[in-house]
Amino acid sequence: MSRDVKQAYKNGTRAMDGKPGKNYWQNHGRYVISVTAMPPDRNIKGTETISYMNNSPDTLRNPAIKLFLNIHKPGAPREFGATPDYLTSGVHIDECKVNGQTVQVRSDQFVFTNVSIKLPKPLLPHDSLQFSFTWHYEISLQSGREGMIDSTTYFLAYFYPRVAVYDDYNGWDKMPFMDSHEFYSDFNDYDVTITVPKNYIVVGTGTLQHPENLLQQLFLKKYSEAFTSDQTIQIVTKQDWQAKNITAQNAVNSWRFTSTNIPDVAFGISDHFNWDGCSVVVDDATHRRAGAFAVYNDTAADYHQVAQYARHSLNWLSHHWPGVPYPYEKTTVFQGYAGMEYPMMANDETYEDTSFSRFVAEHEIAHTYMPFYMGINETRYGFMDEGWATTFEILIGREDLGKEKADEIFKQFRVDGWINNRSPGQDVPIVGPGDNMMGDALGNNEYGKPSLGYLAVKDLLGDELFKRCLHEYMNRWHGKHPIPWDFFFTFNDVAKRNLNWFWNNWYFSHNYIDLAVRSATRSGNDYSIIIENVGGMAAPVNVIANYSDGSKESFHQTPAIWQNNQQKAIVKISSKKKVESVSLDGGIFMDADTTNNTWKQKAF
Ligand SMILES: [Zn+2]
């Protein structure tokens, strides 16, 4: 445990059995936001009030405010370069008030994605205050996770000033947003109104209020039908747009969305994108359905299938892995350039290969659980969300494509870049802290490597016990801010096993996967096979006995073989046939050095 984390356990905000501690707290905001976007004008104007509740035992004097879009400012620290089309002048705070009193917000050339505000009067424990902001920014020509998709299609994300997380182990989150690292957000309530010209639709996070005041009768009917239809309803098509009579014919329309206890909001607006929708039962106990929508340019051939891909994702994730009913009323996949998740939204590119479009939609929708349902600190502990989305991705992929193909894709995309890269960053401990890592070391330690760890513990515990542990972790921590130890301790607690040897081996070490078969000795029908763990990682493996009659047999070994001795395991197999050679096959647990994976009986 790092020292900040040790202190949190000592303070009783977290507990060694993996439950939130008796002193657990988190802060909360109620955001009322009003934004105006009038394409092709790139100016986005907003006002908001934030009622912020300090549930901490601490007196807060200098709250940190996140201005994520300052990443577009020239000179902003970034992990990637920026083209001229990416650059803007950033976020302009026109006014900031605290409880009605105007306060100054620094805006000089050294202010980027974090700015601290000095409160006129400290915010005492268990007290609240109201911030109000008026701001504007220019939406960037080049879009990534947000920005202009085309001259009249905008993706609005991270667009509002928000109070950074103040938590029990780290205090104010002042980690800068530099693009490759993701986010850390409190669970807030949002009431967002987006004002756009007529004949623009707005889709995004939350429940659309009074759609009957926004959509013409025919489109309203189709929008409602999507929530009860298995088949895709084409709510708005390319042909429909030509009549320019989709929405109420006021000069501008204000689209209002509300959501509660959700970590963020994002919206897409367009005057020509297709809008498809369908739905599926996500909760068998209550028969609750959730909507699956796709909003895209008609030219994107794959996107005509995307509402069904999203529907399949909601269905599968709700019923199989993690096997927790999708927690929101809908999801919308919006065509952009990101491959990025937001609560109830994804921004995905178009691809020629529709199985890849489905793969990306599944991955981004899987993020619903981690980070959003679970409140993960993605910036510091990204393996707690990307590792899981990657795990659900292979499990759903095996259903879509069959095990062989899904495993092949996983090896190619998620494992090969780690295991066959000998540079030292690859083998640093997964636990991070990720905010101090970058490049492929960050990527491999957030995606493939931790995912293999989750799949290894699934193999170790068996599906039933693993699911029970996972569900209890999700049950204890959803809507909160778990850190890695809460996860590890919950698994120990629910499995009633001390798995620390495993967690240490996978998540806190410089281990990698390299197993070697050293010998096989025979005594009657019994063989003792000695496997050396060269790389150290407690990986599962298939031990393949190749018999003298040309047949072979596979003996699966879970990571349990490494529990008592992490350097050497003796695997015992029985067979009436004569073993001529033994080989190791880790499958997706790819081995860094396969030259030592086979042992052959010497000729007598
Ligand atoms: Zn992801």
Using N-to-C axis directions, what is the helix angle for 306-319 and 386-401, rounded to 10°? Answer: 110
Omega before residue 433 within 30° of 0, cis: yes
What is the whole-number distance in angstroms between the Cα of residue 441 and the centre of ligand 1?
A: 16
Per-residue pLDDT, 217: 98
Q: Is the pLDDT of residue 91 over 90?
A: yes
Q: How do residues 486-517 score in pLDDT, each as one tens digit?
A: 999 999 999 999 999 999 999 999 999 999 99
Per-residue pLDDT, 557: 98
Per-residue pLDDT, 601: 85
What is the whole-number distance in angstroms between the Cα of residue 184 and the centre of ligand 1?
A: 14
Strand-by-strand arrangement of the 114-116 sheet: 114-116, 64-66, 162-163
What is the whole-number distance in angstroms between the Cα of residue 342 and the centre of ligand 1?
A: 10
Q: CA-CA distance, 194 to 37, in Å (whole number)?
A: 7
Per-residue pLDDT, 604: 47
What is the whole-number distance in angstroms between the Cα of residue 529 and the centre of ligand 1?
A: 39
What is the whole-number distance in angstroms between the Cα of residue 364 and the centre of ligand 1?
A: 6
Q: How do residues 200-219 score in pLDDT, each as one tens digit?
A: 999 999 999 999 999 999 99
What is the whole-number distance in angstroms between the Cα of residue 361 and the centre of ligand 1?
A: 10
Per-residue pLDDT, 591: 98
pTM of the model: 0.97
Kindly write down the DSSP assignment for every residue of 167-213, as one continuous string. Answer: ETTTEE------SSS------EEEEEEEEEETT-EEEESSEES-GGG
Please answer whether residues 568 and 530 qualify as being in contact, where contact means their C-beta atoms are separated by less than 8 angstroms. yes
Taking all residues of the chain, what is their mean pLDDT, rounded to a whole number? Answer: 97
Q: CA-CA distance, 451 to 505, in Å (whole number)?
A: 14
- Conformational region of residue 375, where left means phi above 0, alpha means psi within -120 to 50, and beta covers everything else: left
Confidence of residue 602 (pLDDT cuts 50, 70, 90): confident
Q: How do residues 421-444 score in pLDDT, each as one tens digit?
A: 999 999 999 999 999 999 999 999
What is the whole-number distance in angstroms between the Cα of residue 363 and the centre of ligand 1?
A: 6
What is the whole-number distance in angstroms between the Cα of residue 388 and the centre of ligand 1?
A: 9
What is the whole-number distance in angstroms between the Cα of residue 446 and the centre of ligand 1?
A: 9
Per-residue pLDDT, 603: 57
Q: CA-CA distance, 100 to 103, in Å (whole number)?
A: 9
Q: CA-CA distance, 451 to 433, in Å (whole number)?
A: 17
Q: CA-CA distance, 541 to 589, in Å (whole number)?
A: 8
Strand pairing report for 114-116 and 233-236: unpaired
Which of 507, 505, 463 has the alpha carbon at shortest distance from 487? 507
Residues with CB under 5 Å of ion ligand 1 are 386, 389
Please answer whether residues 330 and 305 qualify as being in contact, where contact means their C-beta atoms are separated by less than 8 angstroms. no
* Residue 338: both structure tokens together: 């990101």
Q: Is the pLDDT of residue 249 over 70?
A: yes
The stretch 326-340 carries a mean pLDDT of 98
Kindly write down the DSSP assignment for every residue of 22-35, as one continuous string. Answer: TT----EEEEEEEE
What is the whole-number distance in angstroms between the Cα of residue 372 and the centre of ligand 1?
A: 12
Outline where 427-549 has alpha helix (H).
Answer: 439-446, 448-461, 463-477, 484-495, 500-507
What is the whole-number distance in angstroms between the Cα of residue 358 and the centre of ligand 1?
A: 14
What is the whole-number distance in angstroms between the Cα of residue 266 and the centre of ligand 1?
A: 16
What is the whole-number distance in angstroms between the Cα of residue 386 and the centre of ligand 1?
A: 5
* Residue 485: both structure tokens together: 């130890």
The stretch 373-385 carries a mean pLDDT of 98
Q: How do residues 149-186 score in pLDDT, each as one tens digit?
A: 999 999 999 999 999 999 999 999 999 999 999 999 99
What is the whole-number distance in angstroms between the Cα of residue 289 and the centre of ligand 1?
A: 25
What is the whole-number distance in angstroms between the Cα of residue 470 and the centre of ligand 1?
A: 19
What is the whole-number distance in angstroms between the Cα of residue 385 and the centre of ligand 1?
A: 7
DSSP helix/strand/coil, 220:
helix
DSSP helix/strand/coil, 74:
coil
Radius of gyration of the chain from its Cα atoms, rounded to whole angstroms:
26
Q: Is the pLDDT of residue 301 over 90?
A: yes
